[in-house]
Structure 1
């Protein structure tokens, strides 16, 4: 079935070949540096895409919620790690899930550790999340009192097993290559320090780092045992802008119908707005907003034009493209344009499904249809 013919409304396309190439490249890097790759699935949230990872020897995964863990639990993963400070209101859900599946969690305070120690019905491994500069979540790297309070609770419990330390250096997503290198150095130093401090008591202690920019750009992972990037499977314009990938590595594009053309203004109105792409934005060199960039769709995928047309503004359903002369002179109302997302994780979450380039629907945790 032709790819573009059945598309009548905004539809997220997933390029399997590009996605697999991205996975293969990250798996090769992990093997080169002798670190385990435990990829984060919050970007794609798809069972079918999850199966693609198995071709590259992946047997453990990371997710961002207990609901996502349950969604992937039927795929026979060796372990599913929930990389989010554990929510004590979900202890009953966790107890049901760990009866039949290996699940690990993340702790950032003694209160939740104690609640788990009191109410868990099966053993659960946990990481202590460390904040080494991002400021979003985690125990400050120098707060040994809080770290050891969590450890003491676990030591008194037969249900909590300390696994190691986890850092997600999310501020790399807002840095240039020099900044990413500096942040990655801080992450390595923090994890190495913590491992040296506690390895006598916990000789099997594991350290894990989870941000895509560092995992994509850096070549030194001393002190890190495991990496858990997620965005690398699809990548996006943000990752391309900081040097994590090329635009040709972006594996998803929103197919959006053209509904109006204003040649005198070099503007194209598409059906594709915030409810499809989210509202993440980049700032162009001239100070204009960029909510996504145009690619030309083909039956084999898409091509990237030599000159860039971009979404200058979006509202709920509308997207307004600032078009190049070449695009404005070769487009018609009713055509379908592709839009590379600024943030692929959010776009996938908004769209709740995909079409492959073969025209097949691919699942998503939050939806049954791709359009």
Structure 2
């Protein structure tokens, strides 16, 4: 398929070969370190892409909402973990889903544990989420009182099953490799301490860590039983910037039509803005803003130019590219450029549908539903 002639509006392209290579690499790493890989599906939110994981022996997954769990339940995974502090207003939905599927949730306080203990009609597993150190969510690792309050409530219930402890160190996404190593060390120490403390009472408990940078870069997972990264299936410029991947590992690109060219300013105007890419941004070494980097589309996907052109600014629908001479020499109005996203999860969520390199639609939870 010629991407130049088949695309006429902003279109999110997914390269299946790169996705599968990313999954294969993470699955191989998990196996080498005797880890279970429980990938997070919030990045792609696609049944079709979900099926690709099964080729690599994946049988359990994580999601970020009960609606996402219901979407993927039709694929009959061995377990679906909702990796977000459970919202007690959705208990009825949880009961419906848990009737026919193995589901686990995350708990961060005793009141929600008590609601579930009193209202669940089907068995549900749970992890206690531990604050990774950046204060977003979770129980402080040293707050044994709160941890044990949750455990006591679960012990009195025949519907709540304690599975273990979960940490998502999201601040690794904003760290350099030394910072990632330090954060990962803290995660390992916290999970190892908790397992040592509670393993006599709960000999089957497991520990899970979920951030893509640590799972991609680190090679010591002492104290961790399971990993649950999500972004690695697509990767993005943020991950490339911190060393989790190469730019050639980025598996999605937003195809954006060129609508104006100002050669004297080295600027190209494309139909691509915040509604397509979100507004995540990187800061270049010279202090300029980078909302996405330009690739050249071809029938095999895209190539990365030797010199970088990037989106210097975006509004709702517009994107202005700071273009190199090389790019300006190849582009004319009506041409379609590819943009590697700063944050692939947000770009996919904005676009809500994918096209593969053959021009076929792939589903997304919030857009086209697969049959």
TM-score normalised per structure 1: 0.99
Query: How many pairs align?
Result: 370
Deviation at 1:132, TM superposition (A): 2.9
What are the superposed Cα offsets for residues 252-285 of structure 1, whole Å, 9 maximum, x if unpaired? Answer: 0000000000000000000000000000000000
What are the residue-to-residue correspondences of 1:135-284 with 2, within 5 Å?
A: 135-284=135-284
Q: SS of the counterpart of 1:138?
A: coil
Deviation at 1:2, TM superposition (A): 3.4
> Which residue is 1:63 aligned to?
63
Q: SS of the counterpart of 2:259?
A: strand
What are the superposed Cα offsets for residues 144-201 of structure 1, whole Å, 9 maximum, x if unpaired? Answer: 0000000000001111110000000000000000000000000000000000000000
Conserved in 2, the CA contact under 8 Å of 1:353 and 1:369?
Answer: no
Q: Is the aligned partner of 1:115 residue 2:94?
A: no
Partner Cα distance (2:305, 2:355) in 1: 22
Partner Cα distance (1:97, 1:134) in 2: 32
Q: SS of the counterpart of 1:132?
A: coil
What are the superposed Cα offsets for residues 11-67 of structure 1, whole Å, 9 maximum, x if unpaired? Answer: 000000000000000000000000000000000000000000000000000000000
Deviation at 1:315, TM superposition (A): 0.3
Conserved in 2, the CA contact under 8 Å of 1:313 and 1:319?
Answer: yes
What are the residue-to-residue correspondences of 1:1-371 with 2, within 5 Å?
A: 1-368=1-368
Partner Cα distance (2:54, 2:367) in 1: 23
Partner Cα distance (1:30, 1:236) in 2: 21
Partner Cα distance (2:78, 2:67) in 1: 18
Q: SS of the counterpart of 1:316?
A: coil
Partner Cα distance (1:26, 1:143) in 2: 33
Partner Cα distance (2:311, 2:122) in 1: 50
Partner Cα distance (2:355, 2:82) in 1: 27
| Closer/same/farther in 2, CA of residues 255 and 369 from structure 1, 3 Å limit | farther
Partner Cα distance (1:20, 1:256) in 2: 25
Deviation at 1:135, TM superposition (A): 1.1
Partner Cα distance (2:5, 2:289) in 1: 31
TM-score normalised per structure 2: 0.99
Conserved in 2, the CA contact under 8 Å of 1:130 and 1:141?
Answer: yes
What are the superposed Cα offsets for residues 270-319 of structure 1, whole Å, 9 maximum, x if unpaired? Answer: 00000000000000000000000000000110000000000000000000
What are the superposed Cα offsets for residues 109-154 of structure 1, whole Å, 9 maximum, x if unpaired? Answer: 0010000001000110000000131210000000000000000000
Deviation at 1:369, TM superposition (A): 8.6
What are the superposed Cα offsets for residues 201-242 of structure 1, whole Å, 9 maximum, x if unpaired? Answer: 000010000000000000000100000000000000000000
Partner Cα distance (2:132, 2:170) in 1: 10
Conserved in 1, the CA contact under 8 Å of 2:3 and 2:297?
Answer: no
| Closer/same/farther in 2, CA of residues 264 and 3 from structure 1, 3 Å limit | closer
Which aligned segments of 4 or more residues in structure 1 are displaced greater than 4 angstroms?
none
Conserved in 2, the CA contact under 8 Å of 1:261 and 1:268?
Answer: yes
Partner Cα distance (2:335, 2:114) in 1: 58
Q: SS of the counterpart of 2:359?
A: coil
Deviation at 1:6, TM superposition (A): 2.3
Partner Cα distance (1:320, 1:2) in 2: 25
Partner Cα distance (2:136, 2:286) in 1: 31
